[in-house]
C-alpha cells in the first residue's frame, strides 16, 4: 500500500467517524437531555422522571429532564430541532405538538416529518368527559342525543382554545353531528369548578386532574377520549366505541432532532420501552390515567400521519385559530 492510499484511507475513516452513523460508536459521551414541553408535575414530565433513572443506569451517563414550557409546546420543539442530532437530545412530544400545532401556528411551528426523527410511542394520556353526578346524562350516547334534539343548548368546557380537549370535542361534534357550545377556560381546574357548580354541561379534561373528584363521587365520567378504554377506568367506554370516526385521544411520543442516528434511536427506544414496562413504573403511571403504547418509530409514524391529515382538515374547516 502506497502513501497516497494510506492518506485516502485515513481521510475516509475520519469522514465515517464524523458522519451521523459514526456517532453511535462513542455514544453517549455526555449527559442526555430529555426535553419536556410542560411544567414539572405534568403528565409528560411525570413519565420522563420515571424513565430517566433506568435509562441513566442502562447508558452510564446522567439523564436530565429539562422543562421548556410555552407556546403550546413549540418552544420545547424548537429547542429540540436546534440541537445537534448526535443522540444526546430527545423531546417528549404530545400528539398535538406533532399533528395540530403545524396547522394552528404560522410562526415557530415545527414540521414533524422534516424537522424530527421518531423514536417510540410513550403513553396514552387519559382524557375524560365528566359531568356532575346529578346530571340527566348517564351515558355519552344520551348526552349526544340531547345535543341533537336541542342544538346549541348544551355546553362543553376545555382548558383552552387549541388544546387537545378542544380538538377532541370539536371532532366529536363534527363526526357525531351534534351542536354544543365550546367554553374555553384558562386551565383545567377553573373549568372543573364550573362542572361541579353545574354551570356547564360537560367538561373534557385530563384524568389526572379529576381522579380525586371521580373517586369521591363528585364527578362522573361518561367516556374516555380516543379509541381504547383507560385501564384505570375500564367501565367508561372510549369515544371511538360510540363514534368510531371521533376516536381522537391524547398521547406522547419520544422524538429527536432530524438526522439522529438510527442505531442510537433504536437503543434509546429499547431502554425506554423496557422502563415503561417495569411493574413498579406501570403501578405509578396507571393512577394518573397513563397507559404505555407499545411499538417503535414506525408506530409513531403510523399514529402521526393520519392524525396530521384529519386534524389539519378539521382545524381548517372550522377556522380554529390561536
Q: Please tell me the predicted confidence (pLDDT) of residue 5.
A: 43
Same domain, 60 and 204: no
Query: The domain containing residue 59 runs over which residues?
Result: 29-125+250-318
What is the rounded CA–CA span in Å between residue 262 and residue 241? 36
Q: Which pLDDT score is estimated for 112? A: 97
Domain boundary among 214, 246, 278: 246
Within a domain: residue 7? no
Quick one: pLDDT at residue 24? 64
Residue 69 counted as domain residue: yes
Indicate if 151 and 237 belong to the same structural domain.
yes
Same domain, 255 and 118: yes
* Claim to verify: residue 199 and residue 232 sit in the same structural domain: yes
pLDDT tens, per residue, the chain with 322 residues: 444 444 434 443 343 344 444 556 789 999 999 999 999 988 999 999 999 999 999 999 999 999 999 998 999 999 999 999 999 999 999 999 999 999 999 888 899 999 999 999 999 999 999 999 999 999 999 999 999 999 999 999 999 888 899 999 999 999 999 999 999 998 889 999 999 999 999 999 999 999 999 999 999 999 999 999 999 999 999 999 999 989 999 999 999 999 999 999 999 999 999 999 999 999 999 999 999 999 999 999 999 999 999 999 999 988 888 7
Number of domains in the chain: 2
Query: Does residue 278 fall inside a structural domain?
Result: yes
- As a three-state string, the secondary structure of 172-226 is HHHHHCCCCEEEECCCHHHHHHHHHCCCCCEEEEEHHHHHHHHHHCCCEEEEECC
Amino acid at each position: 500500500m502506497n502513501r497516497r492510499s494510506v492518506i485516502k484511507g485515513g481521510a475516509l475513516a475520519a469522514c465515517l467517524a464524523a458522519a451521523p452513523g459514526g456517532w453511535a460508536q462513542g455514544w453517549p459521551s455526555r449527559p442526555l437531555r430529555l426535553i419536556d414541553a410542560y411544567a414539572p408535575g405534568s403528565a409528560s414530565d411525570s413519565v420522563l422522571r420515571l424513565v430517566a433513572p433506568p435509562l441513566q443506569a442502562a447508558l452510564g451517563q446522567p439523564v436530565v429532564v429539562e422543562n421548556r414550557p410555552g407556546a403550546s409546546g413549540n418552544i420545547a420543539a424548537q429547542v429540540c430541532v436546534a440541537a445537534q442530532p448526535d443522540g444526546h437530545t430527545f423531546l417528549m412530544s404530545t400528539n398535538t405538538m406533532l399533528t395540530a400545532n403545524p396547522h394552528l401556528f404560522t410562526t415557530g411551528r415545527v414540521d414533524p416529518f422534516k424537522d424530527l426523527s421518531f423514536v417510540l410511542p410513550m403513553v396514552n394520556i387519559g382524557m375524560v368527559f365528566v359531568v356532575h353526578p346529578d346530571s340527566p346524562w348517564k351515558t355519552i350516547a344520551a348526552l349526544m342525543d340531547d345535543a341533537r334534539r336541542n342544538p346549541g343548548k348544551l355546553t362543553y368546557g376545555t382548558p383552552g382554545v387549541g388544546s387537545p380537549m378542544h380538538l377532541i370535542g370539536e371532532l366529536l361534534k363534527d363526526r357525531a353531528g351534534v351542536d354544543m357550545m365550546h367554553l374555553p377556560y384558562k386551565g383545567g381546574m377553573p373549568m372543573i369548578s364550573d362542572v361541579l357548580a353545574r354551570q356547564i354541561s360537560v367538561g373534557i379534561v385530563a384524568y389526572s386532574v379529576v381522579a380525586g373528584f371521580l373517586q369521591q363521587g363528585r364527578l362522573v365520567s361518561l367516556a374516555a377520549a380516543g379509541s381504547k378504554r383507560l385501564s384505570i377506568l375500564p367501565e367508561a367506554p372510549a369515544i371511538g366505541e360510540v363514534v368510531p370516526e371521533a376516536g381522537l385521544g391524547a398521547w406522547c411520543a419520544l422524538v429527536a432532532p432530524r438526522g439522529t442516528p438510527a442505531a442510537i434511536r433504536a437503543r434509546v427506544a429499547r431502554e425506554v420501552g423496557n422502563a415503561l414496562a417495569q411493574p413498579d413504573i406501570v403501578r405509578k403511571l396507571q393512577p394518573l390515567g397513563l397507559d404505555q403504547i407499545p411499538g417503535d418509530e414506525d408506530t409513531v409514524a403510523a399514529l402521526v400521519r393520519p392524525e396530521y391529515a384529519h386534524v389539519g382538515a378539521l382545524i381548517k374547516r372550522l377556522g380554529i385559530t390561536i
